[in-house]
């Protein structure tokens, strides 16, 4: 009988460009041979882009947040703000990646307070 085993790889947060959550695009040694370097960099760059877009200040976000403050948060019941929408988009992207790479599970950074981006590597051993 095979017992599924897994290992968690943590991608550290990159604080060099400010407080917006960003993660290093360097391929961890545990993922070598499981995912291509350029594909990994593309994935992390896309994850970083979701956070950049989520924290981008526009007139729309100013109006959304002003309405939320004036209504004591009641507008959040009717519609989600930009940050929440982008986090939902990121979750959908991670679900797609989990389907594309069955031996990997990409875990939303919100689960660990945005401190790192975790990837579980699954393998079956007897």
Q: Which token pair is 55?
A: 């924290």
Please give the pLDDT value at position 60: 86
| Domain membership flag for residue 22 | no
| Domain membership flag for residue 21 | no
Asked whether 96 and 2 are in contact (CB, 8 A), the reply is: no
| Domain membership flag for residue 24 | no
Task: Average the pLDDT over 108-116 and give the result.
Answer: 91
Band the pLDDT of 10: cuts 50, 70, 90.
very high
Question: What distances in angstroms separate CA 82 from CA 12, 25, 54, 85, one per listed residue?
Answer: 25, 25, 6, 5
| Domain membership flag for residue 20 | no
Please give the pLDDT value at position 2: 61
| Domain membership flag for residue 110 | yes
| Domain membership flag for residue 33 | yes
| Domain membership flag for residue 9 | yes
Question: What distances in angstroms separate CA 17 from CA 12, 23, 52, 58, one per listed residue?
Answer: 14, 10, 11, 20
Task: Average the pLDDT over 103-126 and give the result.
Answer: 86
Asked whether 2 and 125 are in contact (CB, 8 A), the reply is: yes
More confident residue, 62 or 4: 62
As for how many domains the chain has, the answer is: 1
Is the pLDDT at 3 greater than 80, yes or no?
no
More confident residue, 91 or 123: 91
Domain containing 41 equals 3-15+29-125
| Domain membership flag for residue 96 | yes
pLDDT single digits (tens) 67-96:
888 888 777 777 788 889 999 999 999 999
Please give the pLDDT value at position 79: 78
């Amino acid at each position: 009988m095979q017992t599924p085993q897994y290992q968690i790889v943590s991608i550290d947060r990159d604080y060099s460009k400010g407080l917006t959550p960003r993660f290093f695009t360097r391929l961890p040694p545990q993922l070598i041979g499981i995912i291509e370097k350029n594909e990994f960099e593309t994935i992390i760059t896309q994850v970083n882009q979701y956070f950049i877009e989520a924290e981008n200040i526009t007139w729309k976000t100013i109006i959304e947040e002003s309405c939320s403050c004036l209504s004591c948060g009641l507008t959040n019941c009717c519609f989600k703000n930009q940050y929440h929408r982008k986090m939902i988009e990121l979750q959908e992207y991670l679900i797609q990646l989990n389907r594309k790479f069955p031996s990997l599970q990409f875990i939303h950074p919100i689960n660990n307070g945005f401190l790192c981006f975790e990837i579980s590597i699954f393998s079956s051993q007897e």
